[in-house]
Amino acid sequence: MQALPKLLVSPGIMPTENVGNETPSHDVPIMHVNLSADSTNDKKIKVTGVTIQQVGNIPKDNLTNITVYLDSGVIGKFEPSTDILLGFNNTAIGNATNPINTSIALNLTDLTLNPGETESIFVCINYTSFPLSQEGLHFQMKLWDASSQDMRGGAVDVTLQPKPIASNPIFATGTLKVWKGAITAPQYIGAGENETVVIMQVNFSATIEKSTLKNITLKWTGSNTSDVESICLYNDTDKDGILDASDVRVTEWASFTDNEITLSFDDQTVPVAENVSYLIVVNTTKLFWSNDCLRVNITDVDAIGDLSGKIVAISQDTPLPIASDEIKGTAKVRVELGENQPIYKWIPKGDQINIEVVQLKFTAIAGKVNITSLKLQMNESPRTIDVATVSFDSDVANATYPKVWIDVNGNGEINPSDISLNTTAGNLSRDPSINPYGFVEVSLDKNLTIGSETETPEGEESKYIIIAVNTSADAASKKIEIEINWTGTEYNYTCYDVITGQEGLHDETQFTSNYVATTDIVDEDSALIDIGPNPPSGAVNAGENTFVGVLQLNITNNMTGLKPSLELRAITIAANGTANETTDISALGLIEDKDMDGEYSTGDVLLEPILSQPFEENNGNVTLTLTTPLEISAGATKTLLFFVNTTSNFELTENLRFYIWNPSICFNITTNDGKVSVVNRTEIALVGESLTASGIVSATFTGKPEAYNISSEVNSTLMPLMQIKFDVGPTEPVNITNITLNYTGSANNYSISRIVIVNDTDGDAQWDFETEAKLNETTNPFVGNNNRTKLLFTGNLTVSNVTGYGYLLVLVDINASAIDEGQNVSVMISNPKEDYNASGIISGLDIDDPSTEPIKSNALTAIWTGKLSVTTINIARSTLVKGTYYEVELMKLQFSASDESINISSIRIQVNSSFNETGNITNVAAKVDGALRSSKVNFTKDDGYVVLELDPELKIPVIKTRNVSIVADISGELSVGSEIVLRIENPARDIEAKSADINVSVQNETTTPLYSPQNVTITGSVSVAQGVNTTAEGPVVAGAQNHTEILQLNFSAKYEDVNITAINLTWEGTFNCSPNNITIGV
């Protein structure tokens, strides 16, 4: 049998508020009960009624009925508008005996619970008013049962925990009426910090019994509790809704820790049927932002009744909560003089532009504002400058109009980063026919926007503006002074809150600008400024560099005669290259470029200071203020050069570019007494050239070869004269494309008959011509060229940035007929910066050697020597049958010397056969008098070379000859017909020899290749043998016989066909035989 469904009845959130003794009083909640259906049973439960006992001491005649509501909203909060009436009982309640028992049928709407579901009900009472004749009258109820059944009318097991369930005693009191005052709060007030803002007037009135206010609970329903520093209530003694001096604070100032706060009253009495008014006042914080709102709800008020001694009920006529009106914040603006006012008082008369007269500081408080226009007027009062009285002048005012700038860095001077806000404006005339109100309104071309739409910790933001003037004032000792912030009729700026659209709230402080006055001590065009004659441009080394010139300027004191000197005090320079100046530049400075060459060189003057880490932002600007002003005399011009030091972050292809953004404001120039500010009258930017980061290159002489002697008697060929080392940095490889040399020897310049430039890849200062490329060959290079020749390379010398260096070798041929004993030849690179061309392979930029110091070779000095001659003579055999041979003589050289003995140290041999000699001609060596005189070496490539080092050297005596045989092993793999060809390609170069006595190089004078008169050729072979059919020895028939066979010969050929063209026979018979009688047949 299935168990009965269970219903658990338990206390809910029992009401505690007392009830007011009002007529009529409707549905006052006394009890809150939870009804829970068993989750283990699948049957729904229908609750049909409850049994209630009223056990309070309220007179029975004052009870009218009891109602039950389903708590369908916020649990535990009685909300008649949303909670659902389930049933009621109003039968004979007033006639029952206390305590009253009554059952209430849920006769309007069934309460059905699904398994496991919980619902809550309110039990409410209705009553009529009654006199508070005794203290302690109260309502109280007990719940004894809940009638219920399942959906089929079956029984339900009902349990009450506890039983009965009792409500709290609800005492009967007088009532307190609470309502919002009729005073209308402003829609907007200034955002940010404010003191004693009235956000609501609240009124109290008591019924039945006089009440004493104890507490008021406020719930913050505005934007953020952080907007409010503190809150309190004042007694609005005159009930005008305004916080007056006579109003008395009745609570302590307190701060919200969450969105609700309870304030305690200082024993404020509310009489019966009289109104008492209070003001809810807040102090706002800097976080009270534009469009934030101030608003509270009064959610509870505690007051003690005089008769009941209990907390009185809030009148149902004025139920809580009560909401204040919404007050929104709108941004405020504060205007004040800036901290950096212009310091100069005098300006030249005549046309002047961008003369700074005042710096203003605009601050947007707790919001974002757009300022769209300014109203400015000239002050008419006379002033004193340097004991001179300067006065207002209508003509000056009529010739002067304002220029407004955002002073981005706040230094009081117009800089490249500053932003112009107007291009034109009316003149600052005080003439009513021109400016009826005595002021000119300057409409800004772009808004002056200040502040933030979102809250910031600072609560405000400031921007500086500079008001400058352009003037064509033609009178001296006249004043220019601008009044700020009040024109006598209205504020002098127009601003709007970006968020709310409201007009920004103004600051009413009034003040007057600094003032300047005109003078004729200096001329109108007293300072002229332009780009210098040699502005830096092109490539600049990547990475760390010092004193890199970036912008050259000429500054001219355009005055003459007795006019004063000018002093340059500061220059503002700007950058806009692709390099990031904040990381790529470590220092910036200024040089007086005495020689005007655009470089920091000897004689130039370094001006102090040098600024370290000068740029705070990329593509920014820097003002360099000289420690000692630079004086420029009347009529004089100074050439200045800005330089920078670059860092390792300055990378390949990045560029530097510097400029003077606006010459009229970027120079601080005064007279030499510092009193008159002089400006360049043009606003056209002075822009430097672009300098792009590239690799680096520098050339040096390695010291190789050391100075040595050459022959004055015979021509010399390919004598090493100078090895040049080119160093490059790690940034990029560099191509060297040409070089210019100057002849510096004491011999005639045509003593060098030829010059050869070689890529000396191994850096040994010798031409390894098999592996090292010839870059240039020029005959008679210095003849007719003023001892200077530019040598263009047929292929680039590429210097790797990995190894970091490369070498060029300069070799020369010497014309012995043009040089005398004791004379020398030498060359130099007179100016490395100009005398060779280099370019970066990655950047594509031309790169200059930084040095201008000459690079000089050592000298080759001519002395007397003997002479050497070499010829080739016949070799022993010119043919060899195909096969393997060893130490075969392939070439024979005959040497002779004249005037002195000559020592031969080496011979270079080239093989020049029609086949690949590698592996076929091996173990090449030199033999003298049949004995080996060198090591055996091999050709490493086809048509290659070998150098035979003679050990010991071969001495060639005077007038005698010595022979040297060149021998080699021959491979049996050579085919028949192969001709072995050896040669000395250049006898002058390929035979190394020195005079035996003075150890000076002596060359064979010929450079024509030297071949052997005979070459060894590989042939086939032939052999002959007696045939088997030869006539046997024995008698023959005497007498005449024809065609008597006497000998058979068998021939055989190997490796190639052989033609037999003749046979030599020897007759050995005993009788004479004429050759004519011998016949040979095949």
Phi-psi region of 534 (alpha: psi -120 to 50; beta: other; left: phi over 0): beta
Per-residue model confidence as pLDDT tens digits over 859-911: 999 999 999 999 999 998 889 999 999 999 999 999 999 999 999 999 999 99
What is the per-residue pLDDT for 96? 44
What is the per-residue pLDDT for 891? 95
Among 533-542, 589-598, 678-687, where is mean pLDDT lowest? Answer: 678-687
400 versus 643: which is more confidently predicted? 643
Average pLDDT score over residue span 1025-1042: 75
Sheet order of strands, 655-656 included: 538-541, 691-694, 655-656
Q: How confident is the prediction for the chain on average, in pLDDT?
A: 90
1056 versus 568: which is more confidently predicted? 568
What is the per-residue pLDDT for 729? 85
714 versus 386: which is more confidently predicted? 714
Among 79-88, 361-370, 498-507, 774-783, where is mean pLDDT lowest? Answer: 498-507
What is the per-residue pLDDT for 486? 55
DSSP state of 222: S
Average pLDDT score over residue span 399-411: 91
649 versus 1021: which is more confidently predicted? 649
Answer yes or no: is pLDDT of 97 > 50.
Answer: no
Confidence of residue 1074 (pLDDT cuts 50, 70, 90): low
Confidence of residue 346 (pLDDT cuts 50, 70, 90): confident
Confidence of residue 710 (pLDDT cuts 50, 70, 90): very high
Average pLDDT score over residue span 1056-1074: 79
Q: Whole-prediction pTM value?
A: 0.62
Per-residue model confidence as pLDDT tens digits over 987-1031: 999 999 999 888 899 998 888 999 989 899 999 888 888 887 877
Confidence of residue 15 (pLDDT cuts 50, 70, 90): very high
What is the per-residue pLDDT for 521? 82
Answer yes or no: is pLDDT of 472 > 90.
Answer: no
Answer yes or no: is pLDDT of 568 > 80.
Answer: yes
Average pLDDT score over residue span 166-171: 92
Q: Where are the beta strands (DSSP E) in 255-331?
A: 260-270, 276-284, 293-294, 296-305, 313-314, 322-323, 327-330
Phi-psi region of 607 (alpha: psi -120 to 50; beta: other; left: phi over 0): beta
- Residue for token pair 């006992």: 53
What are the residues facing 969 on neighbouring strands?
A: 922
- Those residues with Cβ within 8 angstroms of residue 959's Cβ, 6 or more apart along the chain or in another chain: 896, 897, 898
Confidence of residue 622 (pLDDT cuts 50, 70, 90): very high
What is the per-residue pLDDT for 512? 65
What is the per-residue pLDDT for 508? 63
What is the per-residue pLDDT for 297? 97
**Residue at 299: amino acid letter:** T
Answer yes or no: is pLDDT of 743 > 90.
Answer: yes
What is the per-residue pLDDT for 848? 92
What are the residues facing 725 on neighbouring strands?
A: 700, 807
Query: How far is it, in rounded angstroms, from Cα 938 to Cα 260?
Result: 105
Number of H helices, E strands in the chain: 4, 83
Length of the chain: 1082
What is the per-residue pLDDT for 817? 94
Answer yes or no: is pLDDT of 396 > 90.
Answer: no
Phi-psi region of 417 (alpha: psi -120 to 50; beta: other; left: phi over 0): alpha
- Those residues with Cβ within 8 angstroms of residue 89's Cβ, 6 or more apart along the chain or in another chain: 65, 66, 102, 103, 104, 105
What is the per-residue pLDDT for 741? 98
Average pLDDT score over residue span 1063-1073: 76
